[in-house]
Amino acid sequence: MNVKNCKKCGKVFNYVSGAPICPACKEALEKKFQEVKKYVQDNRGATIHDVVENCEVDPQQVRQWVREERLEFSGDGATGITCEKCGAPITTGRFCKKCKMDMTNELNGAIPKTPKEKAKQKKDPKDNPKMRFLQ
């Protein structure tokens, strides 16, 4: 049993995984998220500053939801969020599309191919052991 203190209210609770906050605070945070999400959907051009003022939520919390890709602002809504790799402005997540593609390609190139995949690539159709019929 892993017992921790809640970061929000200080109560002791049984910690399983994720953010170290108690179930009551987690539920309150989820309700606040739903409120913010509805506000952003209703006000397409809203900025983080607008959300903070109108929904009474901490700007760091809004940025965290954006980084977690739970919230996405429209292209014209200034988020102040930048790609962690190249610094380009983004509307959600941690990386821009270009950096995501670059990392995906790097990871795909780093994975060694299995012997079956190598054999499939080198297989010559003339070496097929199946029977052929002439017409």
Q: What pLDDT digit, counting tens, does each position of 81-121 carry?
A: 889 999 898 888 899 999 999 999 998 887 777 766 665 66
Please indicate, yes or no, if residue 10 is contained in any of the structural domains: no
Measured CA to CA in angstroms, residue 86 lies from 91, 95, 110, 123 at distances of: 14, 8, 21, 41
Domain count, the chain: 1
Please indicate, yes or no, if residue 45 is contained in any of the structural domains: yes
Please indicate, yes or no, if residue 94 is contained in any of the structural domains: yes
Q: What pLDDT digit, counting tens, does each position of 14-38 carry?
A: 998 888 999 999 999 999 999 999 9
The whole model's pTM is what?
0.67
Please indicate, yes or no, if residue 40 is contained in any of the structural domains: yes
Sign of CA dihedral 37, 42, 44, 48: negative
- pLDDT at position 47: 84
Please indicate, yes or no, if residue 36 is contained in any of the structural domains: yes
- Give the model's confidence band at 76: pLDDT under 50 very low, under 70 low, under 90 confident, else very high: low
Take residue 69 and report the two structure tokens written for it. 């890709």
Q: Is pLDDT of 59 > 70? A: yes
Please indicate, yes or no, if residue 55 is contained in any of the structural domains: yes
Query: What is the residue range of 68's domain?
Result: 23-108
Please indicate, yes or no, if residue 119 is contained in any of the structural domains: no
Measured CA to CA in angstroms, residue 127 lies from 63, 106, 114 at distances of: 58, 34, 21
